[in-house]
Amino acid sequence: MTESNEINFVKKVDGNDGREYSTATRLLDKHYSPMIVRRYNLEGWPAFISLICDRDLSSLDDIVHQSIAEAKESGMLKDSIQSLRNTVGYISDKIIEYYENQMKGCMEGCAVIWYTDKMLISSLWGDMMVHKNCKDELFQSINIMVKI
């Protein structure tokens, strides 16, 4: 407790626009956490990574490529179903860790989806896993992307 008997539970954080907020995600001012879907070619197969995040995503490509390189170096990425599942989970964890280290609570959802030889592997986290509307938007966006 402070001298004035106030309890300060939430530390103010700086938003992308330079304003201060008392929560990591805007509850009423919700006009800029759009979902993005980015297509990658991982080991010759298409992968889609989707985020709902309040931070600058300019470093996403670097994080993804670094995660794949680390998975290869550690021997995680092999020619087996379990290995591919582990790699998708690893990429997801690295993305979440990177952005959460920038600002706690900024990640609202993350999806890593990888299609390999007649198999689709996905790792969904946060809103992507629990909200039907987010899943619908994600899969409709991917459906559009593969037709363009």
Summarised one tens digit per residue, pLDDT across range 43-63 is 999 999 999 998 889 999 999
Residue 14 predicted with pLDDT over 60: no
pLDDT-based confidence at 34, cuts 50/70/90?
Answer: confident
Residue 11 predicted with pLDDT over 60: no
Q: What is the CATH number of domain 33-147?
A: 3.30.1130.10
Res 20: pLDDT: 60
Residue 93 predicted with pLDDT over 50: yes
The DSSP secondary structure of the chain, one letter per residue, reads --TTS----S--EE-TTS-EESSSS-SS--SS--EEEEEEEETTEEEEEEEEESS--TTHHHHHHHHHHHHHHTT---SSHHHHHHHHHHHHHHHHHHHHHHSTT-EEEEEEEEEETTEEEEEEEEHHHH-HHHHHHHHHHHHHHHH-
Segments making up each domain of the chain, as ranges:
33-147
Res 68: pLDDT: 95
